[in-house]
Amino acid sequence: MVSGYANRLLYVDLTKGKIKKLRLAKSLIKQYIGGKGFGARLLYDLLPPHIDPLGPTNLLMFFTGPLTATGAPATARSIVITKSPKTGTFLDSNSGGFWGCWMKMAGYDGIIITGRAPKLSYIYINDGSVEIRDAEHLKGFGVYATIDSLVKDVGDKDAKVAAIGPAGENLVKLAAVMNDYHHAHARGGPGAVMGSKRLKAIVVSADTSNPKFEIADPDGFKEFNRDFIKEVVMGPSQEWARTDGTPIIVRASNNVGVLPTRNFQQGVFEDVDKIDAETLRKYRTSKGACYRCTIACRNITKIKDEKWGEITLDGPEYETIGLGGSNTGLGDFKAIIAWNSLVDDLGMDTISLGNVIGYAMEAYERGLLTKEDTGGLELKFGNADAQMELSKMIAKREGIGDVLAEGVREFALWLGGDAYKFAIETKGLEYPAYDPRGSIGMALAYATSDRGACHMRAWPIAEEAFGDMDPFTPEGKAELVIRMQNFNAVKWSMVFCDFLDINYEKMAEYLKLVTGMEYTPKDLETVGERIYNLTRLFNVREGFSRKDDYIPYRIAHEPIPTGPNKGFAVSPEKFQKMLDEYYKLRGWNKDGVPRKKKLRELRLGRDIKKVSIPGASY
């Protein structure tokens, strides 16, 4: 038994209707810590290669980390792990809220789900007891109604729910696993995997006064945690998060010309003052927090409007504003709140969805889509009604929504001709809200992210446009991206929130106090590197290589027309130079495959053979 962990995993086979409780292995803990690390190791070991991500054999796993529910700040998180139906890659997708903490307090560091239920079902975890229950009556329900209904059904008003909406049921590849209404495991389509398993929700009741894990040094932890909160969390580096949270980035991004505008046609939005943090404050009724988080970054907003009705939202975040606001040309904060609320209820990723809608709008304005194609929608930039309607069509897979539900890459290639040239994605995952034409390191970060274009693996813009590094030169960016990727791999294994200002030293101290295990900062960095190499191996096994580490045509060939970065594009030459350097520093070959030497160094030697699918070695 290792302190800090419940030391148990739940294994649910929905095909057989069987539930097992498994002991967590110490070697797994030591080498992978938790969260993303657990998932990287277990998905690699347990998932057959080349399977259909929406078939019954895909695994859907949820994990927490050693600090979850301990009272450490910014740790109220859970990680979903699966093979992404959107990209075909390894996927980890994390979310705040309460649900993950409940799972751990109920006695489970994670849940591994396999198979497919014969009919729509939900899993009910009530501390030690676990059941698979009928959810047919929730078919087609939105996320909000699903949560409300299930909390009543189980008769525990404090129960926490992770659920899918209609998008997940309809296997929409933008579908999220939502929890606690507005928190989303959003990227890469985990909601579609949950839908393919006919699993509507996982409900957890936990005796929060008696959490099923111990802390190695409770007094030491208390003291260290109190000091850390006082010095760091309440300190100046976290002020942005404590006050306005991520929406503060809207204006910052616009200032440096990287705010995606009208499907990345521009990096500056003329209506930025209608969607920035100042505007948000007008609609904010209070601040909110995930379970026991002292940062409390959440903005609770409210609108009451003839058009949109009365809406209370925990949001919107920067990414939602960037993709569902400027990127769709929508300078209307109330409409953004209404859209965010709708999309959370439908259960989709606002980043990918905003990107897809922005793309569709550009295609419409270029005449590649007609009113007939869109079922009558006037799909112009800034048309809030069309944005709402199209979101519903995508969630329901109606008309053109059925193809858009596959994501921007597949839709663009389906349109044919040159339409793909303005699809902004890597590996099939839509770009988030930082245009690399104002921070070239982001191009490398998106290209080498293990789950497709993502800013949560490395965020070099912090040192580029938002920092002191030259944002237009490839110099030093490979090293920076690698450092950040390794660090974040540890962060998502601990599991910390992105917004916490922490370093390896403090992490090691937390780990020592909570688990009793000793890590040096260097040890932790190695764990991060191990995880990032393992997720790469997963992708290599699935057929990914250098050819998949690309940047979109627009980013490479269309200089940004306005703003501070006017005239700049990420030239293929500069990009390839960064990529070459990245592979070299990573110890990967020119095709992006980890070299044996590197794998042995990371104790991944035994995985070398496994890169081939079974049978391949004969």
- The contact set with its own copies (CB under 8 A) reads 15-16, 46, 48-52, 54-57, 85, 88, 114-116, 118, 173, 372-373, 398-400, 402-403, 406, 409-411, 413-414, 416, 420, 426, 428, 542-544, 547-548, 550-553, 555-557, 572, 575, 611-618
CA dihedral 408, 410, 413, 414 (to 10 degrees): -110
Q: In the complex, what is the shortest distance from the CB of residue 495 to its own copies, in angstroms, rounded to a whole number?
A: 27
Q: Roughly what angle, to the nearest 10 degrees, separates helices 350-365 and 384-396?
A: 120
Rg over alpha carbons for the chain, rounded to the nearest Å, is: 23
Q: Phi, psi at residue 111, to the nearest 5°?
A: -130, 135
Q: In the complex, what is the shortest distance from the CB of residue 397 to its own copies, in angstroms, rounded to a whole number?
A: 8
Q: In the complex, what is the shortest distance from the CB of residue 81 to its own copies, in angstroms, rounded to a whole number?
A: 17
Comparing CB distances to its own copies, the nearer of 43 and 556 is 556
Q: In the complex, what is the shortest distance from the CB of residue 471 to its own copies, in angstroms, rounded to a whole number?
A: 19
DSSP string, 270-282: TTGGGTSHHHHHH
**How does strand 183-185 pair with strand 199-205?**
unpaired
Q: In the complex, what is the shortest distance from the CB of residue 238 to its own copies, in angstroms, rounded to a whole number?
A: 38
Structural contact between residues 57 and 51, judged by C-beta atoms closer than 8 angstroms: yes
DSSP string, 51-113: --TTSTT--EEEE--TTTTTT-TT---EEEEEE-TTTSSEEEEEE-SSHHHHHHHTT-SEEEE
Q: Which of 62, 43, 29 is nearest to 610 (CA)?
A: 43
Comparing CB distances to its own copies, the nearer of 115 and 325 is 115
Comparing CB distances to its own copies, the nearer of 413 and 585 is 413
Q: In the complex, what is the shortest distance from the CB of residue 399 to its own copies, in angstroms, rounded to a whole number?
A: 7
Comparing CB distances to its own copies, the nearer of 179 and 374 is 374
Q: Which helix (H) or strand (E) holds 170?
A: none
Comparing CB distances to its own copies, the nearer of 236 and 367 is 367
Q: Which helix (H) or strand (E) holds 429?
A: strand 429-430
Q: In the complex, what is the shortest distance from the CB of residue 294 to its own copies, in angstroms, rounded to a whole number?
A: 43
Comparing CB distances to its own copies, the nearer of 406 and 529 is 406
Q: In the complex, what is the shortest distance from the CB of residue 62 to its own copies, in angstroms, rounded to a whole number?
A: 20
* Whole-angstrom distance, CA of residue 161 vs CA of residue 170: 20
Q: Which of 89, 138, 95, 145 is nearest to 117 (CA)?
A: 138
Q: In the complex, what is the shortest distance from the CB of residue 509 to its own copies, in angstroms, rounded to a whole number?
A: 39
Q: In the complex, what is the shortest distance from the CB of residue 16 to its own copies, in angstroms, rounded to a whole number?
A: 6
CA 285, chain centre distance (Å): 27
Comparing CB distances to its own copies, the nearer of 73 and 85 is 85
In sequence order, the β-bridge partners of residue 79 are: 63, 94
Structural contact between residues 295 and 235, judged by C-beta atoms closer than 8 angstroms: no
State the Cα angle at 284 between 278 and 290, rounded to 5°. 115
Comparing CB distances to its own copies, the nearer of 335 and 445 is 445
Comparing CB distances to its own copies, the nearer of 183 and 409 is 409
Comparing CB distances to its own copies, the nearer of 117 and 130 is 117
Q: Which two tokens stand for residue 254?
A: 């616009």
Q: Which two tokens stand for residue 132?
A: 């698979």
Q: Which two tokens stand for residue 573?
A: 């030459």
